[in-house]
Amino acid sequence: MKRKFILALSVMALLTVGIVSGVSAQETFDNIVDVLAKDNRFDTAYDAVIAAGLADTLASADATYTVFVPRDAAFTALDNANPAALGFLLGDPEGALTDVLLYHVIPGKVMASDLVDGETLTTLQGGELTVDVRTNGDVFINGARVVTADIPAKNGVIHVINQVLVPAGLELPEAPEVTDSSSALPTIAEVLTDDGRFTSLLSALEATSLTDTFTSAGDYTVFAPTDEAFAKLGDIALTESDLRAILLYHVVGDSLTRDQLATDDLVPTLFNGRPIIVNRDGPMILNLSGAKVVTYNVPASNGIIHVIDQVMIP
């Protein structure tokens, strides 16, 4: 009886080893980007990596990396603390967003047990991270707690953290303070006038009797071409009706932030509902009917402005 019991335990042990080995081997077939794509805790991080064009780097088999990945809740916390931050980062994928993401990556494969209290880690962004190992064994990276360690990938390892790390020197814009009265903000017309880059647009609005629309109370999204954008049109003959149609094609009858635009493919305008086409690559906005956005989310008392680099023709 004792022999049968020992034999049974041996069989169970072999099965257990086989199952664990099988899972581990299966996991290591996935590179870092694969792991991010398959784990629903990392939807935002994955979208950000794709938007920044870093997928090939983090999927490469020619190097190994250690990535401190903020879970989705960390990005939500950042958005709650500063509603302007994510829009700013996603609006600058090759600049600020890339810097932030590379600040979460160090070369080589470093397991949690290899991290030493007080040491500094040089990131691919060039900045440094400081390791803090508490007496209870908890590990913190620049104040962010490692909530899950040592997720394997075939080209490195992932440690999950509960905050988004921002490199020194990168200042995230603050969202405008919300007051009880929207009159604290200038109107769309006043913003365009004070900026100085929109004299052609303002002249066109005046010529088509649309100026009053944007000096009065309302709720609009204006895609505002700069003077340089109007200059690109060259000398073309436009009737007042043509010009009015073009201007109305740059206006939406609702306030739409950059993040809201990033979830749409077609945005109906005041020009008989004719839609602007939002060309996207995941959360990254490539252009709006061919026009690239220079600046997102300029607030006004009667709506929001996105600055674009060319005039859209309906």
- pLDDT at 273 (0 to 100): 87
Q: What confidence score (pLDDT) does residue 28 get?
A: 62
Topology at the third CATH level for domain 182-308 = FAS1 domain (2.30.180)
pLDDT score of 25 more than 80: no
Q: What is the pLDDT of residues 264-307, one digit of tens each?
A: 889 999 998 899 999 988 778 889 999 999 999 899 989 999 99
Largest Cα–Cα distance of the chain, in whole Å?
Answer: 100
The reply to whether 27-161 and 182-308 are identical in fold is: yes
> Does residue 115 or residue 91 have the better pLDDT?
115
Superfamily of domain 27-161: FAS1 domain (2.30.180.10)
**Helix pair 188-195, 199-207: axis angle to 10 deg:** 140
How does residue 112 score in pLDDT terms, banded at 50, 70 and 90?
very high
Tens digit of each residue's pLDDT (9 = 90 or more) over 116-158: 999 999 999 999 999 999 888 889 999 999 999 999 999 999 9
pLDDT of residue 136: 82
pLDDT at residue number 76 = 84
pLDDT tens-digit map of 34-88: 999 999 889 999 999 999 999 999 999 999 999 999 998 888 888 878 888 888 8
Q: Where are the domains of the chain?
A: 27-161, 182-308
The predicted structure's pLDDT at residue 177: 53
pTM: 0.53
* Whole-number pLDDT of residue 5: 32
Tens digits of residue pLDDT in 180-226 = 444 478 999 999 999 999 999 999 999 999 998 898 888 899 999 99
Q: How far apart are CA 194 and CA 197, in angstroms?
A: 9
- Model confidence at 26, pLDDT cuts 50, 70, 90, reads very low
Q: How confident is the model at residue 7 (pLDDT cuts 50, 70, 90)?
A: very low
Q: Which residues of 180-198 are buried (b: 16+ CB within 10 A; e: fewer)?
A: eeeeebbbbbebbeebebb
Give the separation between CA 103 and CA 127, rounded to whole angstroms.
7
- Expressed in angstroms, the distance from the first to the final Cα of the chain is 86
> Using alpha carbons only, how large is the chain's radius of gyration in Å?
26
Which carries the bigger pLDDT value, residue 12 or residue 187? 187
Q: So what's the pLDDT on residue 185?
A: 86
